[in-house]
Chain A
Amino acid sequence: MPPKPFAPEDEVALREALKRCSPSTFEAAVQFRKTGNPEHVPAVVIGVIERFVEPDLRVKLKDADDDLRLIEDLGIDSLTMMEIVILVEDVLQMTINNDELRNLRTVGDVKTFIDCKIRGLPLPKPTKFIPIEHIGAVMPIQPPFLFLNEASVSSTAANGKYKISGQEFFLQGHFKDNPVMPASIMLEALGQLAVLYLLEGAPTEPGKVVSPQTIFFTGCEGVRAHRVCKPGDILSLSIKPKRMKMPLATFEGAIRVGQEKAVIAEEITLTFGIVDAVNAPVPINGVGVAHGQPISTQTEVAPVATPVRAAMNG
């Protein structure tokens, strides 16, 4: 899409619109408006979000991963979201509908969404947040061997968190008087996140679902541990599918603690099988299969106050 000519008065208006954003945000917006190059969009979007976040929370955005949540982590309510949208619309010269806003829960969602809009690509399926109860309900792996406290799954990645409580049974012996999370268990946690991805995020043929009973570990490559992890550490796990071809799915995975790299796995490969959706276990929330008709196994995203609903209080 060739950009409209960027006149000097446009630059004046843009500078005014972005007067409370960082200079780099303004520069990125100018570049985008002049060239139409979508590479400048993330800097603009992050800059606009930063401008609306309370100053003491802005540090979170500095090295933000795409998992950073708008409401929970940044305190952005639905009205602030509207302020962000209006400014983004204004500076990027685009239009965003109320319906499209509903599914934007993370910084990554927003970046991907704007990017797809600019490039004219279809919008990705929204990231699903999966609370601990739901993880327990769908996973074949159960406590005390389940190493995910929360997770989010999209069609392109899965992210999760696990806090090392210190109560894990194996820490009594690993090591003597020195509890350290075994690297093998951390690899296991990545594998579990990949299992969750297969069950909740992986695209499958219509009417088919991945069966939890069919998923097993087959191999891994390029595993390196970089950091000793101890009780109190919060492991931030992420996996991305690299290849998916029945019956094998290969992922890359990483674990961080804060901004520090803890474990890298270049490849983790699982084997899996699919079954007819009608025979699949019904996920909780009563969503999944009804009256023998296969429907989306998509769990409903928890309701978020949307601008439309907010307005109804008026």
Chain B
Amino acid sequence: MPRVFITGLGFITSIGNDATTVTSSLRSLRHGFELYPPFQKPDIPVKVVGTIKEFFTDSTDPEDWTFPARYRIKRELLRSMAPNGLFAHCAMLQAIEDAKLTDADLSNPQTGLYAASGGSPMLTHYHHERLTKAGVMRCSPLGIVASIVGTLNFNLVAAFKILGASCGFSSACASSAHALGFAFDEITLGRQHRMFVVGAEDGNTDAILPFAGMRTLSLQTDPALASRPFDAARDGFVGTGGGTVVVLESEAEVARRGVTPYAEVLGWGQASDGHNVAISHPEGNGSAAAMTNALRAAGVAPGAVDYVNAHATSTLIGDISEARALRAVFQQDLARVAVSSTKALTGHGLSLAGAMESAFCALAMRDGFIPGCAHLATVDPECAGLNLPRTTEARPPGIVVKNSSGFGGANVALVFRRVT
């Protein structure tokens, strides 16, 4: 079975728009939160967002958007994009350069792309309103491909001339972790030599505020306190958008191209809670089963894991469920496994989270550090027993587990190994 490696990364995130800045933010625990201007109204109690700097995408007209001049994107491509498409497009360009891929490496039957975003609620709303106001035949011809779930893969596959497997994943906050898992499978099954894994979200008013109805968003007004997974005083998650791209390649391609990978993907697993449409299982059964399945598939004993990048979003119920799942899986080894949730820095990227945080793990493995638990002051007693480093540790994690969980109780765990 071909081994699978991570060979390229691209980031448009609240904590940095390139790998260097992201690494520095992770090491120094510098968050990406701001008081988001559209939320500073009396009737919106949510105030903080993990904002994407240097990009303005709050207009429904892509030609109004502004973004760094180093990304030159033709109107022909821009017109069918949602904000998440723009973020991901820029992250793709970075990842292609980072992985040193040629045009021929990019566009061939052995190279595919799996993507995940929640679509664009902002554009769905806008185009639907146009349909009712301007008339059925005056809708934008590109309204659908810009807004529905799948907009990300439609746009990227066309823009980058992808000829291999392409698909979108829709398991909410587990989506891009699923994408990475199934992309790994494509390569191990010998169907593809190379896969782009993309996660992205708009991270704007229409994408984030609907979560307020569930009372899952933090109402903190201090950006430095809003996202604090595992902390006793946490009060919900902080929304964010952006885009991340992870390039996976077979061992043979890594050797042929002579590139140095970030890390190896050892395997993955998934399991479902079968419990509630939106609430995680109180004992974290599905999450524990996903981790157990992933470790078994990867051939790794729980005691060999050095770091878990948790799903923990800073919600009251979710963080406890995951803590219980970690206890169930790691048992006597719990104290040796460092656990942190980098959502303390970025906020919760929803469909973006799995790919973004896997990419963070890749940076941590290559550069030899374990990101600490930012903003953690008092550990929730329900999460006691976990090894939650308060500051970044300057040691390279050898084996890393990345957890992701989504609505409906979908749980994914991915296992990575440092390349030495």
Partner-B contacts on A (CB < 8 A): 20, 52, 54, 75, 77, 79-80, 82-83, 86, 89-90, 95, 307, 310, 314
How far, in Å, is B153 (CB) from chain A's closest CB? 13
How far apart sit A285 and B138, CA to CA, in the bound complex (Å)? 37
Assess whether B256 is interfacial by the CB under 8 Å rule.
no
A86 and B140 within 8 A (CB): yes
What are 28 contact pairs spanning A and B, CB under 8 A?
A: A20-B63, A52-B75, A54-B74, A54-B75, A54-B76, A75-B76, A77-B76, A79-B141, A79-B142, A80-B76, A82-B141, A83-B79, A83-B140, A83-B141, A83-B142, A86-B137, A86-B138, A86-B140, A86-B141, A89-B137, A89-B138, A90-B134, A90-B138, A95-B137, A307-B141, A310-B141, A314-B144, A314-B145
List CB contacts (< 8 Å) of B104-159 with chain A.
Answer: 134, 137-138, 140-142, 144-145
How far apart sit A77 and B79, CA to CA, in the bound complex (Å)? 13
Chain A: CB-nearest residue to B154: A314
Residues of B within 8 A of A75 (CB): 76
How far apart sit A82 and B139, CA to CA, in the bound complex (Å)? 10
Interface size in chain B (residues, C-beta < 8 A): 13
How far apart sit A128 and B118, CA to CA, in the bound complex (Å)? 46
How far, in Å, is B145 (CB) from chain A's closest CB? 8
How far apart sit A90 and B74, CA to CA, in the bound complex (Å)? 24
How far, in Å, is B79 (CB) from chain A's closest CB? 8
Residues of B within 8 A of A314 (CB): 144-145
Most A C-beta atoms less than 10 A away, residue of B63, B79, B140, B141: B141
How far, in Å, is B117 (CB) from chain A's closest CB? 18
How far apart sit A4 and B142, CA to CA, in the bound complex (Å)? 31
How far apart sit A85 and B140, CA to CA, in the bound complex (Å)? 10
Most A C-beta atoms less than 10 A away, residue of B74, B137, B142, B144: B137
6 tightest A-B CB contacts, nearest first:
A82-B141, A79-B141, A86-B138, A79-B142, A54-B74, A83-B141
How far, in Å, is A178 (CB) from chain B's closest CB? 45
Most A C-beta atoms less than 10 A away, residue of B75, B79, B142, B145: B75
Residues of A within 8 A of B137 (CB): 86, 89, 95
How far apart sit A307 and B137, CA to CA, in the bound complex (Å)? 12
Residues of B within 8 A of A77 (CB): 76
How far, in Å, is A87 (CB) from chain B's closest CB? 9
Chain A: CB-nearest residue to B141: A82
How far, in Å, is B78 (CB) from chain A's closest CB? 11
How far, in Å, is A168 (CB) from chain B's closest CB? 40
How far apart sit A18 and B76, CA to CA, in the bound complex (Å)? 18
How far apart sit A82 and B80, CA to CA, in the bound complex (Å)? 13
Chain B: CB-nearest residue to A75: B76
Other A-B pairs, 12, CB within 8 Å; known A86-B140, A95-B137: A20-B63, A77-B76, A79-B141, A83-B79, A83-B140, A83-B142, A86-B137, A89-B138, A90-B138, A307-B141, A310-B141, A314-B145
Chain A: CB-nearest residue to B137: A95
Residues of A within 8 A of B63 (CB): 20
Chain A: CB-nearest residue to B144: A314
How far apart sit A52 and B141, CA to CA, in the bound complex (Å)? 14
How far apart sit A75 and B134, CA to CA, in the bound complex (Å)? 27
Residues of A within 8 A of B144 (CB): 314
Residues of B within 8 A of A54 (CB): 74-76
How far, in Å, is A12 (CB) from chain B's closest CB? 15
Residues of A within 8 A of B142 (CB): 79, 83
Residues of B within 8 A of A310 (CB): 141
Residues of A within 8 A of B138 (CB): 86, 89-90
Residues of A within 8 A of B74 (CB): 54
How far, in Å, is B80 (CB) from chain A's closest CB? 8
Residues of B within 8 A of A52 (CB): 75
Residues of B within 8 A of A20 (CB): 63
How far apart sit A83 and B145, CA to CA, in the bound complex (Å)? 14
How far apart sit A20 and B78, CA to CA, in the bound complex (Å)? 15
Residues of B within 8 A of A86 (CB): 137-138, 140-141
How far apart sit A62 and B79, CA to CA, in the bound complex (Å)? 24
How far, in Å, is B295 (CB) from chain A's closest CB? 41
Chain B: CB-nearest residue to A98: B137
List CB contacts (< 8 Å) of B292-312 with chain A.
Answer: none
How far, in Å, is B74 (CB) from chain A's closest CB? 6
How far, in Å, is B174 (CB) from chain A's closest CB? 26
How far, in Å, is B140 (CB) from chain A's closest CB? 7
How far apart sit A134 and B20, CA to CA, in the bound complex (Å)? 60
How far, in Å, is B155 (CB) from chain A's closest CB? 13
Chain B: CB-nearest residue to A76: B76
How far apart sit A310 and B145, CA to CA, in the bound complex (Å)? 12
List CB contacts (< 8 Å) of B49-89 with chain A.
Answer: 63, 74-76, 79
